[in-house]
Amino acid sequence: MPETALLSLISEILGTSIDSLLIPRKLIILNAVYSDGEKHFNVTQIVNNHVHSNRLNIIFNPQYLGVSIDSQRICVLTVKYQTPNGTFFTFAVQDEPLTIELTDEKYMTDTAFEVICAYYGNKKEYKSALRK
């Protein structure tokens, strides 16, 4: 454990809060990608910095991520995360909420391939095509 006086400096260098240094993390974001299907940004560190008390609760939008994709296509945030129960995937469409808690077991990585979302349309108007 570092000296108490060093905690603020360490948290600033790592880009995280002092709480996150002292509280053990059981929810870890392994990979987060913001994409419109053509362009993509790795936003893992940004999303990981918003995990507090082993919970992620955000409204996914470009302002939150600090990056933007200039496209009329639907933008999606896909997240691969790990809890003590295993490794899972989830996603959110732009401007939709994304919540991950320790008890969430969305889509496991060791299960057979399964299409979990499919959309058509543009940013302003889109529909689910999953049933098709």
Position with higher pLDDT, 18 vs 41: 41
Distance, CA of 32 to CA of 86 (rounded, Å): 17
Q: What is the pLDDT of residue 2?
A: 67
pLDDT for residue 112 is more than 70: no
Residue 39, CA distances (Å) to 30, 31, 71, 76, 108 in order: 20, 16, 9, 11, 25
Contact 78, 89 (CB under 8 A): yes
Q: What is the pLDDT of residue 110?
A: 59
**Mean pLDDT value of segment 58-65:** 86
Question: In this structure, which amino acid lies at residue 75?
Answer: C
Q: What is the pLDDT of residue 12?
A: 83
Give residue limits of the domains in the chain. 25-128
Q: What tens digit of pLDDT does each residue of 65-79 get?
A: 888 888 888 888 999
Residue 109, CA distances (Å) to 9, 65, 87, 93, 105 in order: 37, 25, 6, 20, 10
* Residue 47 banded pLDDT, cuts 50, 70, 90: very high
